[in-house]
């Protein structure tokens, strides 16, 4: 038998001589729940699938990996999504952003990577002034990843059905790739004004410093800029409640009304037509004359039901209980119609005899569903007596306690795959989306956040504050030097998009509850978040839960005749006197999760498992927004068996 060794040797030499081919650049579609960091591995998904109601925002990403060569001069465009009857979603309803990387030098939570995190969203055309900015072109270094964020707003009058659009990515040297976006618009609409009132604070001098480099902006300089921040906040479904210049005080009320009246009345320009502020903080001197004057003007303009005054901050640390009590007495005597708010919990309210002076109690999330001995487990029932007094409300807030307010005090609950809701930029997307789900579960009716521009001046390079990256800073200063164009505007963080998604999730939870199945809504929320300290990092689970709510809402409203039991969003309605909505019985009781008897499951267990693993509609990879097509198949099948009734997620009622 002839020897085969010479043949093997020849084959080996041929193999060694073959060139080693370089890995080329890659482009793929990604959902909103993955933070694309420089080390993110390339995927092959060429399609994303999305689901939304009318007047809802949906987001996805187009990610790029530079391969061995890198990419230069990257540009992206999505001209429109085309739907039924040649309906086009385009123009201001479609916005592309370049995701800017923000450096971190110390992790907010032990175990999180230190380095560059995507967060600042530089727009192609900004949402406020409509100017072309410096999102494109950009470069992708070899063997690193970058991403483009895409926002789509579904207009109020968009017909339900399927929409499709193509994101085209180009780079120098003739490089071109495409990602297809498929959007299913369901026959429902979200209200323009959030059903969950909020008070996110903003200190005007920080905005002055970040945009002008000075400390002495006049009201004439500052108010137009602050109004742009308010517009962006409302389009992300929360309210900046304290952004008014403090000097002079009282303001000339005619000027105040001209600037802020449109945002309080819902007539300011916005993609969310009719969106209104849900809160308004008194920021003047704490004296009887000014409190009376403010309350009289709020009453005259019909805004008093949204106005409030803070009696102090986190007593006994920020304010003593004696000071809180004295301020409470003053407000009750001088302005009895003005709501009072205090960041405290039920134990302190009772121990310090403040239950009659506080209208809105705002405990920490850690104290409402806690792990410490004094607050272990669901504490909602401890507020029952307080909430029996007319005009009272329970809000909640998160703070640096979600990660640890000082170095070495990191919350032990922040284990891999678990932990508290968090707005830190180096935490998972799921952590930033979770707060409103927890708010619903606790039967709270509002959310407070202590600051949004705390490190605005250095936001592009450093946001480390109170032991966290991004603590108290949710915006970026959109100066022409930073993003191009001519007009100073606020720039959204990626976290703002996730907060907006949480607010929209709350609308679906409320819609299912109002439509007759609060038990189902509560069970979906509790299955997703077993406790406030156990928020998963699995973004796919959040998207799967949302799709369950959408299908259940469609089932509950399928037999309604058009307009039955619904109210057009913001059609002259006003928020309730307590600034929120009454909790469903299960919420108020803080009882166990349970589905309504006979409630059908919206998707098969296998479908949910597939979605949580990343979904097959984009080739896998741990993102969930793109799993919408898979999960929504169940809704589509159900839709073939039901009447097509135009239904609206109910707006808030008095």
Q: What's the pLDDT score for residue 566? A: 37
Does the structure show a pLDDT above 60 at 55?
A: yes
Mean pLDDT (whole number) for 331-336: 98
**Which residues in the chain are classed under CATH 2.60.40.10?**
26-189
Cα–Cα distances (Å) from 497 to 112, 149, 276, 433, 504, in that order, read 21, 10, 19, 9, 10
* φ, ψ (nearest 5 deg) of residue 390: -55, 140
- The three-class DSSP label of residue 271 is coil
How far, in Å, CA of 389 to CA of 410, rounded? 37
Q: Evaluate whether 647 touches 560 at the Cβ level (below 8 Å).
A: yes
Of 630, 625, 631, nearest to 552 (Cα)?
631
Q: What's the pLDDT score for residue 169? A: 98
Does the structure show a pLDDT above 70 at 138?
A: yes
Q: What tens digit of pLDDT does each residue of 422-479 get?
A: 999 999 999 999 999 999 999 999 999 999 999 999 999 999 999 999 999 999 999 9
How far, in Å, CA of 279 to CA of 338, rounded? 12
How far, in Å, CA of 475 to CA of 470, rounded? 9
How far, in Å, CA of 543 to CA of 612, rounded? 9
Mention every residue, 6+ apart, whose C-beta is less than 8 A from residue 189. 53, 54, 55, 56, 156, 569, 648, 649
Mean pLDDT (whole number) for 375-399: 97
Cα–Cα distances (Å) from 229 to 4, 128, 260, 350, in that order, read 77, 9, 12, 38
How far, in Å, CA of 516 to CA of 513, rounded? 5
- The three-class DSSP label of residue 81 is strand
The whole-chain average pLDDT of the chain stands at: 86
When pLDDT is cut at 50, 70 and 90, the band that residue 44 belongs to is very high
Class at the top of the CATH hierarchy for domain 26-189: mainly beta
* φ, ψ (nearest 5 deg) of residue 179: -125, 130
Only one residue has tokens 């301020």, namely 327
Mean pLDDT (whole number) for 11-36: 73
Q: Evaluate whether 140 touches 71 at the Cβ level (below 8 Å).
A: yes
Q: What's the pLDDT score for residue 247? A: 87
Q: Evaluate whether 539 touches 428 at the Cβ level (below 8 Å).
A: yes
Cα–Cα distances (Å) from 625 to 65, 136, 482, in that order, read 20, 25, 30
When pLDDT is cut at 50, 70 and 90, the band that residue 649 belongs to is low
Of 333, 326, 331, 334, nearest to 360 (Cα)?
331
How far, in Å, CA of 510 to CA of 580, rounded? 12
How far, in Å, CA of 281 to CA of 646, rounded? 37
How far is residue 170 CA from its own chain's centroid? 30
Q: What's the pLDDT score for residue 406? A: 84
DSSP 114: P
Point out the least confidently predicted range of 85-99, 201-215, 593-607.
593-607
Q: How long, in residues, is the chain?
A: 654
What percent of the chain stands above pLDDT 70?
A: 82
Rounded (to 5) percent helix, strand, coil in the chain? 35, 20, 45
How far, in Å, CA of 97 to CA of 106, rounded? 27
Q: What's the pLDDT score for residue 156? A: 96
Q: What tens digit of pLDDT does each residue of 167-182 get?
A: 999 999 999 999 999 9
Does the structure show a pLDDT above 70 at 578?
A: no
When pLDDT is cut at 50, 70 and 90, the band that residue 408 belongs to is confident
Q: What's the pLDDT score for residue 632? A: 43
DSSP 158: P
How far, in Å, CA of 197 to CA of 389, rounded? 20
| pTM, full prediction | 0.86
Q: What tens digit of pLDDT does each residue of 301-320 get?
A: 999 999 999 999 999 999 99
CATH architecture for residues 198-555:
Alpha-Beta Barrel (3.20)
Mean pLDDT (whole number) for 363-378: 96
Q: What tens digit of pLDDT does each residue of 114-123 get?
A: 999 999 999 9
Helices (H) and strands (E) counted in the chain, each on its own, are 18, 26
How far, in Å, CA of 121 to CA of 651, rounded? 30
How far, in Å, CA of 599 to CA of 515, rounded? 13
How far, in Å, CA of 358 to CA of 310, rounded? 9
**One-letter-per-residue 3-state SS of 423-466:** CCCCCCHHHHHCHHHHHHHCCCCCEEECCCECCHHHCCCCCEEC
Query: Partners of 491 in the beta sheet?
Result: 476
Q: Is the peptide bond before 250 cis (omega within 30 degrees of 0)?
A: yes
Mean pLDDT (whole number) for 403-409: 85
When pLDDT is cut at 50, 70 and 90, the band that residue 410 belongs to is confident
Q: Evaluate whether 360 touches 393 at the Cβ level (below 8 Å).
A: yes
Instruction: Count CA atoms within 13 Å of residue 345 on its CB side.
Output: 18
**Which residues in the chain are classed under CATH 3.20.20?**
198-555
**One-letter-per-residue 3-state SS of 605-629:** HHHHHHHHCCCCCCCCCCCCHHHHH
92: tokens are 């201001």
Mention every residue, 6+ apart, whose C-beta is less than 8 A from residue 174. none
């Amino acid at each position: 038998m002839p020897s085969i060794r010479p043949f093997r040797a020849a084959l080996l030499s041929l193999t060694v001589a073959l060139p080693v081919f370089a890995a080329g650049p890659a482009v793929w579609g990604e959902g909103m729940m993955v933070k694309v960091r420089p080390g993110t591995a390339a995927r092959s998904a060429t399609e994303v699938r999305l689901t939304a109601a009318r007047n809802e925002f949906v987001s996805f990403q187009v990610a790029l990996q530079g391969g061995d060569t890198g990419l230069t001069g990257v540009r992206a465009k999505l001209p429109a999504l085309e739907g039924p009857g040649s309906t086009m979603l385009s123009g201001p309803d479609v916005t592309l952003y370049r995701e800017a990387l923000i450096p971190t030098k110390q992790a907010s939570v032990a175990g999180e990577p230190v380095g560059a995190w995507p967060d600042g969203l530089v727009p192609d055309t900004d949402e406020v002034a409509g100017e072309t900015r410096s999102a494109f072109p950009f470069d992708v270094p070899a063997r690193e990843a970058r991403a483009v964020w895409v926002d789509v707003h579904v207009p109020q009058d968009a017909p339900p059905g399927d929409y499709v659009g193509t994101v085209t990515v180009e780079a120098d040297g003739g490089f071109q790739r495409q990602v297809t976006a498929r959007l299913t618009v369901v026959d429902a609409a979200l209200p323009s004004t959030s059903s969950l009132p909020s008070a996110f604070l903003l200190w005007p001098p920080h905005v002055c410093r970040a945009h002008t480099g000075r400390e002495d902006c006049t009201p004439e300089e500052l108010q137009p800029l602050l109004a742009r921040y308010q517009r962006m906040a409302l389009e992300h479904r929360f309210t900046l409640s304290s952004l008014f210049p403090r000097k002079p005080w009282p303001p000339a009320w005619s000027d105040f009304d001209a600037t802020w009246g449109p945002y309080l009345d819902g007539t300011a320009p916005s993609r969310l037509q009719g969106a209104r502020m849900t809160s308004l903080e008194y920021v003047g001197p704490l004296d009887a004359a000014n409190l009376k004057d403010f309350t009289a003007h709020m009453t005259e303009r019909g805004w008093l039901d949204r106005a409030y005054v803070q009696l102090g901050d986190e007593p006994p640390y920020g304010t003593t209980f004696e000071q809180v009590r004295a301020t409470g007495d003053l407000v009750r005597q001088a302005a009895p119609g003005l709501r009072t708010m205090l960041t405290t919990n039920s134990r302190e309210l009772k121990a310090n005899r403040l239950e009659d002076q506080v209208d809105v109690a705002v405990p920490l999330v850690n104290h409402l569903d806690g792990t410490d001995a004094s607050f272990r487990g669901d504490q909602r029932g401890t507020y029952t007596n307080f909430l029996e007094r007319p005009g009272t409300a329970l809000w909640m807030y998160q703070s640096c306690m979600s990660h640890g307010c000082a170095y070495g005090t990191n919350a032990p609950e922040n284990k891999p795959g678990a932990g508290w809701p968090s707005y830190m930029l180096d935490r998972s997307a799921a952590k930033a989306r979770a707060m409103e789900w927890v708010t619903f579960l606790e039967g709270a009716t509002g959310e407070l956040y202590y600051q949004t521009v705390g490190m605005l001046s250095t936001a592009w390079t450093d946001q480390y504050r109170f032991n966290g990256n991004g603590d108290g800073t949710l915006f970026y200063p959109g100066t022409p030097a930073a993003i191009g164009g001519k007009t100073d505007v606020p720039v959204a963080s990626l976290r703002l998009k996730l907060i907006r998604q949480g607010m929209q999730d709350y609308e679906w939870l409320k819609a299912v509850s109002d439509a007759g199945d609060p038990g189902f809504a509560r069970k979906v929320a509790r299955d997703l978040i077993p406790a406030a300290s156990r928020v998963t990092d699995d973004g796919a689970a959040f998207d799967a839960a949302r799709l369950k709510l959408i299908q259940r809402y469609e089932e509950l409203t399928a037999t309604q005749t058009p307009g039955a039991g619904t109210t057009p969003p913001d059609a002259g309605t006003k928020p309730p006197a307590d600034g929120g909505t009454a909790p469903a019985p299960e919420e108020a009781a803080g009882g166990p999760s349970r589905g309504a008897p006979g409630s059908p499951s919206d998707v098969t267990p296998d479908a949910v498992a597939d979605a949580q693993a990343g979904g097959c509609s984009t080739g896998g990879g741990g993102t969930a927004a793109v799993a919408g097509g898979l999960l929504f198949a169940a809704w589509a099948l159900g839709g073939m068996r039901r009447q097509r009734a135009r239904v609206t997620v109910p707006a808030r009622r008095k």
